[in-house]
Amino acid sequence: MTTPALLPLSGRRIPTLSPGAASFPHHRATLRLSEKFILLLILSAFITLCFGAFFFLPDNSKHKRFDLGLEDVLIPHIEAPKGAKHPGGQVVIHGQGDHDEHRHREEEESLRDKIRADHERALQEAKEKLSKSRDELRAEIQTEKSKVLEDLKKEGPKPLPPVPMPKVVGVNDGDPGEPDIKEKRDKIREMMKHAWDSYRQYGWGHNELKPLAKKGHSTNIFGNSQMGATIVDALDSLYMMGLHDEFKDGQEWIEQNLDFSVNAEVSVFEVNIRFIGGLLAAYYLSGQEVFKVKAVQLAEKLLPAFNTPTGIPWAMVNLKSGVGRNWGWASAGSSILAEFGTLHMEFVHLTYLTGNPAYYQKVMHIRKLLAKMDRPNGLYPNYLNPRTGRWGQHHTSVGGLGDSFYEYLLKAWLMSDKTDTEARKTYDDAIEAIERHLIRKSNGGLTFIGEWKNGHLERKMGHLTCFAGGMFALGADGSPDDKAGHYLQLGAEIAHTCHESYDRTVLKLGPEAFKFDSGLEAVAVRQNEKYYILRPEVIETYWYMWRFTHDPKYRQWGWEAAQAIDKYCRVSGGFSGVKDVYSSNPTYDDVQQSFFLAETLKYLYLLFSSDDLMPLESWVFNTEAHPLPVLHLANLTLPGSQGQR
C-alpha cells in the first residue's frame, strides 16, 4: 500500500507512522491516519452542527436573515416571486403580500429540514466510521485515493489552442555531395548510434549513462529523478540524422514514462534548455503533439521559480512543491546571469504555442529590470540577488556563469525575424563593453576573452567561452557602424585560439580552461582544468564559421576533433569524458553527458552537411543546440507585449 499523503490539522502537518506499527500512540505528533480521519469527520460534523444552528434560531422580524442578497448563493434553486424585488425589498404587487410571506416561511422551513437531515446523516456517518476497524478505514482511504487519481487521469491535460505551425524547412537530408565529406558525416552518424544504443542498453530512462560501469547516471541538476534527459536531449539529433527508429523509441518512452509530478529539485536553466528546448524542437521537426504537450506541462512546473520579490527566478525549483532556492555557492544567495538570462527563446515559443502571456511577460520583465540597473563599465556581473535586486560580486565572464545571456539577446532578435530591436541593441551594447574590457591579444598573437574580477582582468579563457566565436559570426550581419567584417574576423580569431587549445594537448582535445600568462598560452595550468567532458563549444564555433565563410579549415579542424573523440573517449559502453588531455594514458570520468548527443555530435553532423540542412534563415539554435523556428511576428502581437513586435 502506498503511504497516504500527509493531512493538515490545525495548520500543522501530522506525520504518519509506518503501517506495521502495533498500537496507537498517545502523543499528538504521532497520530495514526485512522485517528486523523475520525477527527476530521467529527470536526466536519461539528461545523455542520454550527452551520445548522444558525438556521434553528427563533425568527426575528427585525433582523431578516436574507437581507444581504446572498440567497442566490445559499439557495440558488429558489426564484424570486414574479414582480417582486430581491428578498428584503418591498413587494410591489398589491394583494399578494400575505401569500408571499407565507411562501417565504415555507421555503425557510424546507431549508431548515434539509440542513437538519444533512446534520443527522453526518452524525450517523461519523458513528459508522468510529465502529470500523483500522484496516477497514485504511482500505476505504486507499479506495478514495485511487478513485481521485483515476478521475484526474480521465480529465487529461487541457487542450492547447490551435496556432499556425511556423514554416519548417530543411529538417533532414543535407547531403554534402562530395564523397569524402559524406563519408565523414556517415562516421558521425555511426558515433551517434553507438552513443544512443549504449544508453538504450545500459541507461534507458536514466538521465545519463556511465559507459564504463554500464549503468544509469544522474547529477544534481536533475535532482533525484529519472527523467530520461538523454532521450529528450537527443531526439532532434536523431531526427536530423535520419535515425527514425531510434527517434520512435524515444517518443514512445516519453509518451509512456515522462512524468513531471516528481518530488525532485531541478535546475530551472538546465531543465529549460535541455527538456523544454528539446521537446519543442522535436515537436517542430516531427509535428508530434505529445512533445508540445509535455513541454507545456513542464513549463507550468517551472513558473513557481519566478515567485521572488524581484521576479528574477531561483536557480532551482522543486517540481512537486514549487519551492525554489539558489545554489549555496553563488555569491550571497544570488541568481546567475547565464541561468535567468537563458529562458527567452523557449518562453516566447511557449507563449506562442499556448496563448498564455505569462511566459513572455516573465522573460520581458527580466530584460526590463536589467535595463534599469547600473552596470560597472557597461559590463553585466554574473550574480544578481533575487530578493534585493542588487548585483553580487563584480565578476563578468563570457564563459561559465555569463555566456548564454549574451547569446540569447542576439538570438531573441534573430528568432523574432529581426523585429525585436530592443534585444539587438542590448546585445550590441554588451558586446561593445566586452570588447573594450575583456578581449585582448596574447604575446603570441592569440585573441582571447578574459574574465573581469573586481576591476582586474584575469587572462584565462574557458572551453565554454569558445562558443563566442560562433556568436560573433552569427551576429556580424546587422551589427552597428558597418562592423560586420570586423565581427566575422573576431569570430575567426576566437576559433583559431580555441583550435590552438586543442592542438597543444597530447589528445588533441581541449582542456576545460586555459591561460595566457607567464609564457604559457592556450594551455591549462591546474590539474582540475585539464579535463575534457565531451563539450561542444569549439565545434559549435567551427560550424558557424563554416556556414559563414566556407573556409575548408573549419571542416578539417572539426574532423580532427571527431577523430580524437572517437579514439580517446569511445569505450565499449558509449563515450566518456577524460580527466587529463595532456596525458597519453588518460583516465575516464565515466560519464556520457546528454549534451554530447544533443550538441557535440549534432554540430559535427551539421558541419559535414550541406547548408540546406537547418538553414540559419529559418532556424535559431538554443544554447543546447535545439533548433527553434524563426517566428514571423510582423502581423502578430504576443499576449502581454506592448504593440506589435
Predicted pLDDT of residue 612: 97
Is-contact 417 634, C-beta < 8 A? yes
CA–CA distance, 346 with 277 (Å, rounded to integer)? 6
Catalytic-role residue among 71, 270, 451, 500: 270
Looking at residue 79, its pLDDT comes to: 36
Other C-beta atoms closer than 10 Å to the C-beta of 511 total 25
Question: d(Cα 600, Cα 594) in Å, to the nearest integer?
Answer: 10
Length of the chain equals 645
Beta pairing class for 447-449 and 439-441:
antiparallel
Active site residue 512: yes
CA distance 637 to 641: 7
In order of 296, 481, 638, the CA distances from 355 in angstroms are 11, 38, 8
DSSP 370-413: HHHS--GGG---SEE-TTT--B-S-EE-SSTTTHHHHHHHHHHH
pLDDT value for 131: 78
Alpha-helix residue ranges (DSSP H) falling in 70-132: 71-74, 97-131
Contacts within 8 Å (CB) and 24+ apart, 429-433: 429/378, 430/378, 430/379, 430/380, 430/406, 431/406, 431/472, 431/475, 432/378, 433/375, 433/377, 433/378, 433/379
The Cα 575–Cα 211 span in angstroms is: 6
Q: Retrieve residue 311's grid coordinates.
A: 521576479
- Catalytic-labelled residue, pool 236, 512, 580, 590: 512
175 included as an active-site residue: no
Contact 91, 100 (CB under 8 A): yes
Residue 537 is among the residues annotated as catalytic for this protein: yes
Report the half-sphere exposure of 581 (CA within 13 A, side-chain side).
32
What angle in degrees, to the nearest 10, is found between the helix axes of 537-549 and 484-503?
140
| Dist. CA 405–CA 379, nearest whole Å | 12
Contact 479, 548 (CB under 8 A): no
* Residues whose CB is less than 8 angstroms from the CB of residue 370 and which lie 6 or more positions away in sequence, other chains included: 341, 380
Would the CA dihedral through 69, 70, 76, 77 be positive or negative? Answer: negative
Judge if pTM exceeds 0.85.
no
Q: Tell me, what's the pLDDT at 176?
A: 97
Return the SS3 of 312: coil
623 among the known binding-site residues? yes
Cα(228)–Cα(208) distance, integer angstroms: 7
Question: Rounded to whole angstroms, how far apart are CA atoms 295 and 297?
Answer: 6
Q: What is the pLDDT, as a whole number, of residue 43?
A: 61
CA distance 29 to 9: 11
Task: For residue range 550-574, list pLDDT tens digits in order.
Answer: 999 999 999 999 999 999 999 999 9
Q: Domains for the chain: give ranges and CATH numbers.
A: 179-630 (1.50.10.10)
Which residue ranges in the chain fall short of pLDDT 70? 1-101, 104, 145, 148-157, 633-645
417 is catalytic: no
**What pLDDT sits at residue 229?**
98
Q: Tell me the three cell numbers of residue 436.
A: 573594450
CA atoms within 13 A on the CB side of 424: 17
Give the list of residues 6+ apart from residue 477 with CB closer than 8 angstroms, or none.
Answer: 484
Q: Which of 428, 500, 537, 580 is catalytic?
A: 537
- How far is residue 402 from each of residues 397, 407, 415, measured CA to CA in Å? 5, 10, 21
Residue 77: burial class (beta carbons within 10 Å; 0-12, 13-18, 19+) = exposed
Q: How far apart (Å, rounded) are the C-alpha atoms in residues 332 and 54?
A: 55
